[in-house]
Chain A
Amino acid sequence: MEKHLNLDKIINPDEELVHTIERLIAVPDAEDVRELAAGRIQLVAVRVPAESPLKGKSLIEVGRMADGLPYIIGAVFRNETLIVPMGKDVLLAGDLLYVASDKDHIGKVLAFFGCRGKPPENILIIGGGDIGLRLARRLESRALHVRVLEKDRARCERLSEVLRRTIVLHGDGTDQAILMEENIAQMDLVLSLTGDEETNIVCSLLSQRLGARRLITRISKFAYMPIAQAIGLGRVVNPRLSAINSILQYVRRGKIVSAVSLKGEEAEVLEAEAIADSPIVGRPLKDAKFPKGALVLAVVRGAKPTIATGQTVILPGDRVVVLCARKAVPQVEQRLSVQVRLS
């Protein structure tokens, strides 16, 4: 279709949301999973648990404990406020860390930060709408045990025709009896994906109370996202955000290759090609005088990603991955000497 209509890219918000969810499922304890530099680098949001050994440690101390693992903490969200961390900043329980590492090491890095969960096998999807159906199809093709709970009888019939291995259940996700009947305490993951966000919040809270181990909740209104956080629904997906992230990669052109926004619009991750006359090229990063609120996460030279440290030197032609707070974006763009235009 893209070819016939002479379009470069078609973005389907539902499809983007399903991709987001799939990435989240692959990293069970993460609240957000992003792929950078064409998938070579992953940026994962993890929360510091209450009894974490990292609690109360500064980043320098944490780095020593990590024993040479290549990672970088790009952003810390504390009470919904963004901190672009420096070496002396201290981690607190409940902080949400955005940690970047390359694909080969991300597993170990996540384990170090307390994410040790196995990918889920038994999954309950509440809401068999378009997104529920798409997701169930993807998951059943990966041989996972998937159940879909849908309250419209006719829709159930339709789902059971189209899905092959998924068990389709007729019932209301806010009905405690049916959740218990389906043994929700044994579920590795419950996704509330109905079209109604209030229902999703109730379903997730109910599932949590009944013992479901992990939750993913679909919320469309940005206004609800901080509330969801406050009542303990950490893993929230938003169809508009997913679509925006997908679109952003196409909106910013010039030398900026792709851009990803974190936490609504609080921060962005830019990928740009370093050009020879940029002030950041040719010297160690610690001397490069980056604006406050921006941090180089990684440098990709050729196909090889390197997680940035103070000693990293950027050469012309490298692809630089930079995390920056919203207000620092223009400065960073200028520092990269990049002509920004919308196309």
Chain B
Amino acid sequence: MMPWGFVWRAVGALLWCVGATMMLPLGFSLAYGDGAHGPIVQSMGVAAAAGAVFFFPSRQGTPPSIGHREGILVVALGWIGAAALGALPFYLADTFPTFTDAFFESMSGFTTTGASVLTDIEKVPRGLLLWRGLTHWLGGMGIIVLSLAILPFLGVGGMQLYKAEVPSPVPDKLRPRIKDTASLLWKVYILFTVAETALLMAGGMDLFDALCHAFATLATGGFSTRNASVGHYQSAYVDGVVILFMLIAGINFSLHYQWLTGRPLALWRDPECRFFLYATAVFIVLCAGSLYGTVFDTIPGAFRYAAFQVVSILTTTGFATADYETWPPLTQVILFFCMFFGGSAGSTGGGIKCLRIILLIKHGYRELMRLVHPHAVSQVKLGGRVVPADVLHSVWGFFVLYLALFVVLSLLMAALGLDMVTAFSSVAATIGKIGPGFGAVGPAENYAGLPLAAKWLLSLSMLLGRLEIYTVIVLVIPEFWRP
């Protein structure tokens, strides 16, 4: 018997929290007098009412322990609820013509994707733009807790490897763990957000722009307040700061916690982080190499733009400083593959993630070794420790599901009449949480022109990608609902 009471109460409480955070955009809206305070206040009212509807009728006490199924349900319903609530301010303020667009934008925010259906961003009231950035930031907070406190406990997609690594005094209990881990890691998250805001303001941005960009960077989201994204500022300093913080956001936050609390070598000692930094460097060099002489005449120029775009896509942020669709085909293909790569596990980034890619490569190599030495006994190791077989299995499962969903969703997108490049890249960019793709959804364009059904499909794609696929897919398996 599913303890629905607990689930609804958790969702209701979450809606209240999300509603309460609308205070921040409300404040900005009033300060700028942009006229968006009405819809924001109305949305807060709806949040309070909806939260009450979920919370109060379900007064049954919380179950003694929260199992896998309740955890999964709360996560999935919570994300959908937050996205629906987040769409309200946009919808009520008539920012978008349809609720579909508002929902897409909000889902894109909460899943830290950054795919936008806004054509002229700079005309939208600043209060709403701040809300748009804040959805990223809240989604990022959610994902840190999800990936470092909940998924390792649920054993989703190889994340159980992190069970022992996350800072928490009680390693094996879900509920105290969520609370402790959240309070420790959110401090790190907030610290970096403040730091980036300050650095961006030092580079000439005003508080509003700096804060919105910091929100979008740390969450690896990608919503900018400018039509030309970060490219608007034409500043190497701003590019540099954003690249640095995108990299930070692409690294496991429990590692940040470690080096900030007196273990300065934590980043370098972690095999996944090393791999992530190596991979980033290799992709930057490849891209810069293919850009030098074709698009940029100077090596520093080629490196600046290559570095920004590679880091933006690898960490699945999705900011742009250049229209990479005008770049040579080789560069575009490299960037397309970067979309599948993703950041580290335990970061706010999406994609397949470095941890899984390392394990897939190592496992593949081990299979090759077996062909050469049929009697060899070998184990997949990470950082000198043996990776248990069940972790490898769930990583393979994740990989297969990821690619299968990519194939199915691309087929559906093509069935809706999109061309091949757009169909492939829109799915890759949403399931991998990047944002802009190629073709009709490239960095110079947006998702506004897609058919209605495509927007709903891509919203689903974002949700699937963000919740590590298993967590959503499992909901449609009948076995899940059997007592």
Q: Which A residues have a C-beta under 8 Å from some C-beta of B?
A: 147, 153, 156-157, 159-161, 164, 167-171, 178, 181-182
Are B377 and A169 in contact, CB atoms less than 8 angstroms apart? yes
| CA gap between A233 and B103 in the complex, in Å | 80
Per the bound structure, the CA–CA distance linking A306 and B241 in Å amounts to 67
- Asked if B60 CB lies within 8 Å of chain A CBs, one says no
- The answer to whether B373 touches A157, judged by C-beta atoms less than 8 angstroms apart, is no
B375 in the interface (beta carbon within 8 A): yes
Asked if B183 is at the interface of the complex by the 8 Å CB criterion, the answer is no
CB-defined interface of B373-417 with A at 8 Å, one 1/0 digit per residue? 111111101001010000000000000000000000000000000
Contact A168 B377 (CB under 8 A): yes
Name which of B373, B375, B386 has the most chain A CB atoms within 10 A of its CB: B375
Q: Which of A153, A161, A168 is B376 in contact with, Cβ under 8 Å?
A: A168
Contact A160 B378 (CB under 8 A): yes
Question: Which residues of A are found within 8 Å of B281, using beta-carbon distances?
Answer: none
* Bound Cα distance from A147 to B376, whole angstroms: 9
- B369 part of interface (Cβ distance < 8 Å): yes
Taking CB as reference atom, which chain B residue is nearest A157? B377
In whole angstroms, what is the CA distance A61 to B369 when docked? 55
Q: How far is the CA of A156 from the CA of B376 in the complex (A)?
A: 9
By the criterion CB–CB under 8 Å, are A182 and B384 in contact? no
Sort A-B residue pairs by CB-CB distance and give the 9 closest, nearest first: A156-B377, A169-B375, A168-B377, A171-B375, A170-B377, A160-B377, A160-B379, A161-B386, A170-B375
Report which of A157, A159, A164, A178 forms a contact with B375, defined as CB distance below 8 A: A178
**A161-B386, A164-B384 known; A182+B373 contact, CB < 8 A:** yes
B residues near A153, Cβ cutoff 8 Å: 377
Given the complex of chains A and B, what is the CA–CA distance between A60 and B259 in angstroms? 70
Instruction: Tell which of B374, B377, B378, B381 touches A181, judged by Cβ atoms closer than 8 Å.
Output: B374
Query: From residue A274, how far is it (CB to closest CB) to chain B in Å?
Result: 52
Q: Are B375 and A181 in contact (CB under 8 A)?
A: yes
| Contact across chains for B386 and A169 when beta carbons are under 8 A apart | no
Count of inter-chain pairs, beta carbons less than 8 A: 35
Task: State which of B376, B379, B381, B384 has its C-beta within 8 Å of the C-beta of A169.
Answer: B376
Q: Which residues of B contact A169 (CB under 8 A)?
A: 373, 375-377
The interface residues of chain A lying within 8 Å CB-to-CB of B375 are 169-171, 178, 181-182
* Cβ contacts under 8 Å, A178 to chain B: 375
A-B pairs with beta carbons under 8 Å apart, 30 shown? A147-B373, A153-B377, A156-B377, A157-B377, A157-B379, A159-B377, A160-B377, A160-B378, A160-B379, A161-B379, A161-B381, A161-B386, A164-B384, A167-B373, A167-B376, A168-B376, A168-B377, A168-B378, A169-B373, A169-B375, A169-B376, A169-B377, A170-B375, A170-B376, A171-B375, A178-B375, A181-B373, A181-B374, A182-B373, A182-B375
Contacts A167-B378, A169-B376, A182-B375 aside, 18 further interface pairs with beta carbons under 8 A come to A147-B373, A153-B377, A157-B377, A160-B377, A160-B378, A161-B379, A161-B381, A164-B384, A167-B373, A167-B376, A168-B376, A168-B377, A169-B373, A170-B376, A170-B377, A181-B373, A181-B374, A182-B373
Enumerate chain A residues within 8 angstroms of B379, measured Cβ to Cβ.
Answer: 157, 160-161
**A155 nearest in chain B by CB position:** B377
| Least Cβ–Cβ distance between A217 and chain B, in angstroms | 22
Compute how far the CA of A161 lies from the CA of B377 in the bound complex, rounded to whole angstroms: 10
Contact with A along B456-478 (1 / 0, CB 8 A): 00000000000000000000000
Return chain A residues, CB-CB under 8 Å to B376: 167-170
What residue in chain A is nearest B385 (Cβ atoms)?
A: A161
Q: Which of B324-378 contact A (CB under 8 A)?
A: 369, 373-378
| Complex Cα gap A157–B381 (Å) | 12
CA gap between A164 and B362 in the complex, in Å: 13
Cβ contacts under 8 Å, A161 to chain B: 379, 381, 386
Distance in angstroms between the alpha carbons of A156 and B378 in the assembled complex: 8
Chain B nearest Cβ from A340, distance in angstroms: 50
The distance from the CB of B68 to the nearest CB of chain A, in whole angstroms, is 29
| A181-B384 Cα distance, complex, nearest whole Å | 28
* C-alpha gap A129/B241 in the complex (Å): 55
Which residues in B have their C-beta under 8 angstroms from that of A170?
Answer: 375-377
Residue of B nearest to A150 (CB): B377
> Measured between C-beta atoms, what is the minimum distance from A59 to chain B in Å?
49
Q: For the complex, what is the distance from the CA of A161 to the CA of B389, rounded to whole Å?
A: 13
B373 surroundings in chain A (CB, below 8 A): 147, 167, 169, 181-182
- Give the distance in Å from the alpha carbon of A159 to the alpha carbon of B375 in the complex: 14
